[in-house]
């Protein structure tokens, strides 16, 4: 599935705005590397991921648009995180652009997006989840927007939280 974000990434790639493109992914890369590595070493791993992606972008890779850039980002994250603790791996693989990096089997997972989670919810809860998780509104703002009682929003949020966890763990 490709969405509006993929279209924006593709536009930035096409226009050669690679710094802007990669900058948009910095927070996600850092956060996922820290989660994967289970600690602050993830900061160093994230730096290596950024360096790798930057070199690839500068070398003109990924401009063909065959895969959404987010698929490439997460594939490189997986590749670097898996290799990070292997002896000697950083000395060669990471910096050799000839090494076929990503395991693009990850692309299957990439077809799942948060919007799809929202779509799995009953309509009322889905509305609340979209405003909480996609638009980042506070519960009071959600109540205001949907013309609901704050307590109704809190109850919906209470139902949504375990559903999100189940969906992510599936």
Based on the shown chain and the rule CB under 8 A, indicate whether residue 7 belongs to the binding site for another protein: no
How many helices (DSSP H) and strands (DSSP E) are in the chain? Answer: 11, 0
H or E stretch at 9: helix 4-14
User: What is the distance, to the nearest Å, from the Cα of residue 163 to the centroid of all Cα atoms in its chain?
Assistant: 19
Stretch that binds another protein, among 56-64, 118-126, 145-153 (CB under 8 A): 56-64
Q: Number of residues in contact with another protein, rule: CB under 8 A? A: 61
Based on the shown chain and the rule CB under 8 A, indicate whether residue 119 belongs to the binding site for another protein: no
- DSSP 3-state of 19: helix
- Asked if 120 and 162 touch (Cβ cutoff 8 Å), the reply is no
Which of the residues 79 through 98 are near another protein (CB under 8 A)? 90-92, 94-98
Based on the shown chain and the rule CB under 8 A, indicate whether residue 5 belongs to the binding site for another protein: yes
- List all residues 6 or more positions away from 162 whose beta carbon is below 8 Å from its beta carbon: none
Distance of closest approach, residue 61 Cβ to another protein, in angstroms: 9
When computed from its CA atoms, the radius of gyration of the chain, rounded to whole angstroms, is 19
Q: Whose structure tokens read 């990924």?
A: 62
Dihedral angle computed from the Cα positions of residues 160, 166, 168 and 169, in that order, rounded to the nearest 10 degrees: 160
Based on the shown chain and the rule CB under 8 A, indicate whether residue 20 belongs to the binding site for another protein: yes
CB closer to another protein, 11 vs 55: 55
Distance of closest approach, residue 96 Cβ to another protein, in angstroms: 5
Based on the shown chain and the rule CB under 8 A, indicate whether residue 11 belongs to the binding site for another protein: no
Residues that bind another protein (CB under 8 A): 3, 5, 19-20, 22-28, 30-32, 34-36, 38-40, 42, 44, 47-48, 50-51, 54-55, 58-60, 70, 74, 90-92, 94-98, 106, 109-110, 112-114, 116-117, 132-136, 157, 161-162, 164-165, 168-169
């Amino acid at each position: 599935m490709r969405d509006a974000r993929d279209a924006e990434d593709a536009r930035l790639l096409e226009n050669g705005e690679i710094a802007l493109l990669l900058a948009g992914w910095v927070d996600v890369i850092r956060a996922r590397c820290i989660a994967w590595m289970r600690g602050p070493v993830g900061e160093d791993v994230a730096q290596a991921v950024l360096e790798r992606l930057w070199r690839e972008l500068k070398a003109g890779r990924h401009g063909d648009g065959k895969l959404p850039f987010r698929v490439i980002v997460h594939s490189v994250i997986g590749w670097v995180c898996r290799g990070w603790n292997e002896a000697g791996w950083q000395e060669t693989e990471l910096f050799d652009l000839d090494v076929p990096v990503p395991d693009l089997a990850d692309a299957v997972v990439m077809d799942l997006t948060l919007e799809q989670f929202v779509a799995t919810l009953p309509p009322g809860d889905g509305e609340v989840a979209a405003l909480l998780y996609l638009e980042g509104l506070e519960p009071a703002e959600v109540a205001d927007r949907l013309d609901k009682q704050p307590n109704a929003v809190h109850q919906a949020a209470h139902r949504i939280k375990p559903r999100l966890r189940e969906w992510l763990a599936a």
